[in-house]
Amino acid sequence: MKSNTFNYSLLAVGIAAVMGLSTGANAAKSGTATTSPTITNVAEATYSVNSVPQTPVKSNPVVVNISEQVSFSLSALNTDGDLKDDTNNGDDVKPTGFVQFIHRLENTGNRRDQYTINLANVINGTSDKADYNLGASTVSYQLYNSDGTKATGQYTSGDNMLVATLNDFKFPLEAGQYVNFTINAKTEGNKGGDTQNLILTATSTALSTNTPSDVSKTLTNTNTSRTVLPVFSIVKSITDTLNLNDLNDTATYSIKVTNDGRADYAAAATNIIVRDTLPAGLVLVPDSVKSTDATSGSSVIETTTGINQGFVYSGINLAVGASITITFDVKQDTKVKPANGVINHARVENTLDSGITIVDSTNKDDTDENTSTYYPTNDDIEYTNNPIPGTAGGDSAAALEVNKRGLTISNGVNGEGTFKEIAVNGTVTHTNIITNTGDASEGGVNRSIAIKITDPDGKIPLGIITDATANNRPSYKQGNTTGYLEPTATAGEYRLPNSVIIASGSTIDIIYAVKSDNSTGKALLDTKEENVVTITPAGNDPSATINATNITTIKGLTLNKTQALDANCDNAADTSFTNSNIDAEPNQCVIYKIDAKNTSSTALGFNITGLTISDAKSQFNAAADYAPRSATTSGVAATNITTQANDDGTNINTTINTLAAQNTATLQFRVKIKNDPKQPAQSQP
């Protein structure tokens, strides 16, 4: 029979010591059963004399004393630190893989014997967690003479045969002969770190009966293997966010794959494949897949078209504890919008020499992932946004933050915001509306909003109230909630409190005050002031800084005094009313008209109240006399006149309760030029 031994590597010498397994046991030996049979030999002769049979003659007896010794040994020969013990310790094996065990059965007696061989699994227990698939395991053997030469004959060698054929097979051995068994045992259902034991027994036929109590007729060897395999920890992180307002904005992913040395059952890995398929909404930036840890023979295939873009990175080798980091860039798909918080998962695939393929994914719902079959329970737990997974073989994937942020503000320049008119001495408030046009909330801690209100020229009479007290600080209004902005370290800058959130599609009002100061007499009507409200959002991928320009204009009361000649004093003007000088003669009359106008606009203005228009008689008494009962008030309803036009002895005056925006109240009266200016006033018609 021809030997066809499987080519499996043996465990290095000393591994048993590393694993804490005993190597001091001796080979299994039966002990010696000795018997002393004797051979007594007497010769006998028969003969005849003259054809007459004679009495047979017997010789003297000769005696041979025989010393018969029956013994045998069964040795475990794996290179585990002791080649003459009864245990093959700690050979490593992959899940469903083959592990090789070598044994020697030797006839150490001085007579021929026959041995029955059996191979069986140890019942699973604390030190035995998995079995061997004996139906798929094979064995080969070789018979040797006592001088180490290969024996010939019926049982000189064996092809690889199923263990089932070996069991109960009887091996005859002459004294000094031995047979070496090579067992290629296939594991089954074994996970990383599992220990599985296999028992080989040999039973002597010669010792089966009349065996002394100190002699074993059955010897046992134990074969122990430990399951090891690569243990992949995949950590996927992101170094940027994705700004959806910029089609060319990119985010960079990093995939760190480690052969996790935290698992004491980890083994070196060869020809690893890292696979990444992008989720909807993301596309791969061509030629962006890089790795500074590339191993010999590694290669990348990128897929940058179609809906399943991604890449395959293959040919990676990782020793225990070693890592490889792969980076690549993505941007948004112009056809499909990526969702905020989308997770891009990665997968590692590795085909072991046992033929199985380990599939490890950062996605716990990946139906192809099979690490639970080959890793111990509670190893390879998936996490999110965890830079160091908490368990051996644990994986982590980061959620991508995508932002489509947008803010608008009402602007007084284009009519969306506020124009305000202010009295010469007064205060007005401006309100600008901030609208969140983006997809996510604004404000709070991570997306704070800075608000700066500036006075470009910084001049009086108009100025922004920037007192940081609660009463004068800019404020906000959101629905029925109001509050004050918080000052920052920058002069004139404020921010929304962290508790204020502007939801997508909602608004908030920013309110501040402008004051007019005429203490220097410079608060001239129609003086304008432009204030700029600047909104600066913070956080990832902020929208652009936005500005609103609000205009404040000083409005109020103008007085315009005109005059016209009434030559015959009939209270009808003979000339147009004018601000210019006119000529008059004694005994002619002059009509005065004083127009008081509220210059504020109808849409934005204000009412003037308690208006008194007066003209001092002292201005004309030296040359003219007031025409009694000539004073009138026009331009306002009679019900709105508090004091009708009259001569109070000192002034010609009238009082109007309310003068609305753009309305004019007119005080009109007549005087007569004296005939002799030096004479006291005469009574007038």
Residue 24 C-beta-side C-alpha neighbours within 13 Å:
2
Work out the average pLDDT over 604-628: 93
Helix (H, G, I), strand (E, B) or coil at 619: helix
Cα 355–chain centre separation: 35
Residue 292 has pLDDT above 90, yes or no: no
Task: Look at residues 98, 166, 170 and name the one whose alpha carbon lies nearest to residue 136.
Answer: 98
For 594, the enclosing helix (H) or strand (E) is: strand 589-598
Could you give the CA distance from residue 108 to residue 85 in angstroms, rounded to a whole number? 16
DSSP state of 261: T
Q: pLDDT at position 685, please?
A: 36
Q: pLDDT at position 378, please?
A: 93
State pLDDT tens for residues 490-549: 888 899 999 999 999 999 999 998 888 888 888 889 888 888 999 999 999 999 999 998
**Fold designation for 407-552:** Immunoglobulin-like (2.60.40)
Work out the average pLDDT over 161-171: 82
State pLDDT tens for residues 24-61: 347 888 777 766 666 677 778 787 788 888 788 877 77
Q: pLDDT at position 64, please?
A: 63
Could you give the CA distance from residue 585 to residue 590 in angstroms, rounded to a whole number? 10
Q: How many other CB atoms are there within 10 angstroms of residue 571's CB atom?
A: 13
Q: pLDDT at position 279, please?
A: 94
For 16, the enclosing helix (H) or strand (E) is: helix 15-18
Q: Report residue 20's pLDDT band, with 50, 70 and 90 as the boundaries.
A: very low
- Total length of the chain: 685
Work out the average pLDDT over 645-674: 95
Work out the average pLDDT over 378-405: 94
Task: Look at residues 108, 116, 97 and name the one whose alpha carbon lies nearest to residue 75.
Answer: 108
Domain coordinates in residue numbering, the chain: 15-32+69-227, 232-402, 407-552, 557-673
Q: Report residue 85's pLDDT band, with 50, 70 and 90 as the boundaries.
A: confident
Q: pLDDT at position 517, please?
A: 85
Residue 15 has pLDDT above 90, yes or no: no
Q: Report residue 463's pLDDT band, with 50, 70 and 90 as the boundaries.
A: confident
Q: Report residue 18's pLDDT band, with 50, 70 and 90 as the boundaries.
A: very low
Is the alpha carbon torsion for 3, 9, 14, 19 positive or negative?
negative
Could you give the CA distance from residue 363 to residue 369 in angstroms, rounded to a whole number? 8
Q: pLDDT at position 467, please?
A: 63
Could you give the CA distance from residue 166 to residue 153 in angstroms, rounded to a whole number? 18
Which parts of 189-309 are beta strand (E)? Answer: 195-204, 218-227, 232-238, 242-243, 250-259, 269-277, 282-284, 290-291, 299-303
Residue 68 has pLDDT above 60, yes or no: yes
Residue 2 has pLDDT above 60, yes or no: no
Range in 151-165, 257-271, 517-531, 642-656 the model is least confident about = 151-165
pTM: 0.73
Residue 78 has pLDDT above 60, yes or no: yes
Work out the average pLDDT over 393-399: 96
Task: Look at residues 308, 232, 312, 301 and name the one whose alpha carbon lies nearest to residue 275.
Answer: 312
Could you give the CA distance from residue 543 to residue 243 in angstroms, rounded to a whole number? 9
Could you give the CA distance from residue 19 to residue 110 in angstroms, rounded to a whole number? 39
Residues of the chain with pLDDT > 70, as a percent, come to: 89
- The backbone torsions φ and ψ at residue 566, rounded to the nearest 5 degrees and listed phi first, read -120, 85
CB 617 within 8 A of CB 651: yes
Is pLDDT larger for residue 142 or for residue 8? 142
Cα 268–chain centre separation: 29
Q: pLDDT at position 411, please?
A: 79
CATH architecture of 15-32+69-227: Sandwich (2.60)
Q: What is the mean pLDDT of the chain?
A: 87
Burial 87-115 (b: 16+ CB within 10 A, else e): bbbbbbbbbbbbbbbbbbbbbbbbeebeb
Surface-to-core class of residue 223, CB atoms within 10 Å of its CB (0-12 exposed, 13-18 middle, 19+ buried) = buried
Q: Report residue 455's pLDDT band, with 50, 70 and 90 as the boundaries.
A: confident
Task: Look at residues 463, 460, 502, 464 and name the one whose alpha carbon lies nearest to residue 481.
Answer: 502
**One-letter identity of residue 545:** T
Could you give the CA distance from residue 373 to residue 95 in angstroms, rounded to a whole number? 9
Tokens of 156: 């000189």
State pLDDT tens for residues 330-354: 999 999 999 999 999 999 999 999 9
Work out the average pLDDT over 363-368: 95
Work out the average pLDDT over 374-389: 93
Tokens of 660: 């609305």
Work out the average pLDDT over 404-417: 77
CB 306 within 8 A of CB 256: no
Asked if 15-32+69-227 and 557-673 have one fold, the answer is yes
Could you give the CA distance from residue 613 to residue 594 in angstroms, rounded to a whole number? 8
Could you give the CA distance from residue 568 to residue 672 in angstroms, rounded to a whole number? 10
* Helix (H), strand (E), coil (C) string for 312-376: EEEEEEECCCCEEEEEEEEEECCCCCCCCCEECCEEEEEECCCCCEEEEECCCCCCCCCHHHHCC
Strand partners, 652: 615, 647
Residue 221 has pLDDT above 50, yes or no: yes
- The backbone torsions φ and ψ at residue 21, rounded to the nearest 5 degrees and listed phi first, read -95, 145
DSSP state of 640: G
Task: Look at residues 609, 521, 600 and name the one whose alpha carbon lies nearest to residue 555.
Answer: 600
List, in sequence order, the alpha helices (H) in 133-250: 163-166
Q: pLDDT at position 680, please?
A: 55
- The backbone torsions φ and ψ at residue 15, rounded to the nearest 5 degrees and listed phi first, read -65, -30
Work out the average pLDDT over 382-394: 93
CATH architecture of 557-673: Sandwich (2.60)
Range in 174-178, 416-420, 558-562, 645-649 the model is least confident about = 416-420
Tokens of 399: 């959620």
Q: pLDDT at position 626, please?
A: 96
Q: How many other CB atoms are there within 10 angstroms of residue 529's CB atom?
A: 22
Q: pLDDT at position 481, please?
A: 94
Surface-to-core class of residue 658, CB atoms within 10 Å of its CB (0-12 exposed, 13-18 middle, 19+ buried) = middle
**One-letter identity of residue 667:** L
Please state which of the four CATH numbers 2.60.40.740, 3.40.190.10, 3.30.450.40, 3.40.50.300 is assigned to the domain occupying 232-402: 2.60.40.740
State pLDDT tens for residues 102-128: 999 999 999 999 999 999 999 988 888
CB 313 within 8 A of CB 331: no
Residue 386 C-beta-side C-alpha neighbours within 13 Å:
14
Strand partners, 494: 451, 487
Residue 578 has pLDDT above 50, yes or no: yes
Work out the average pLDDT over 358-382: 95
